[in-house]
């Protein structure tokens, strides 16, 4: 039988990098998904739905858009698919930049419930 490694690792630097989240500097580990890094920094809410309820990553594979936020001015970036990198600017729609495209629901599944029914608000 051929030998297989019993422990597979990926290289994630242990030195955090500066990322601006809603106007505040946060030190996050580069290479991790932005969703995982935000959860690890106790910032799980990535946007709010049309009714103002907080939303957070759900599927963690880029399908549901619950983790959509604005990264470097680009709206609707899926945090679960975006790796953390030094100098990035993130807007979730809950900080001083609320009301910008951060947390926007246009073009996403926002406004849907967890089971996919359209909200009536």
104-114 pLDDT per residue, tens: 444 444 443 34
Question: 3-class SS at 34?
Answer: helix
> Above pLDDT 90, what percent of the chain?
60
Q: pLDDT tens digits, residue range 64-90?
A: 999 999 999 999 999 999 999 999 999
The pLDDT of residue 93 is: 76
Predicted TM-score (pTM) of the model is: 0.68
Distance between CA atoms of residues 109 and 119, nearest Å: 11
Q: In this structure, what token pair is assigned to residue 121? A: 């608000």
**Is residue 117 over pLDDT 60?**
no
How many other C-beta atoms lie within 10 A of the C-beta of residue 32? Answer: 17
Taking the domains of the chain in order of start, what are their residue ranges?
A: 17-91
CATH class of segment(s) 17-91: alpha beta
């Amino acid at each position: 039988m051929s030998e297989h490694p019993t422990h597979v690792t990926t290289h994630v630097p242990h030195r955090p990098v500066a990322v601006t989240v809603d106007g505040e500097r946060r030190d996050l580990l580069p290479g991790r998904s932005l969703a995982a890094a935000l959860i690890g920094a106790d910032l799980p809410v990535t946007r709010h739905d049309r009714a103002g309820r907080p939303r957070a990553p759900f599927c963690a594979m880029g399908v549901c858009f619950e983790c959509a936020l604005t990264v470097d001015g680009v709206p609707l970036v899926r945090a679960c698919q975006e790796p953390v990198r030094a100098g990035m600017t993130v807007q979730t729609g809950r900080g001083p930049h609320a009301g910008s495209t951060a947390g926007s629901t246009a073009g996403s599944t926002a406004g849907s419930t967890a089971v996919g029914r359209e909200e009536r608000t």
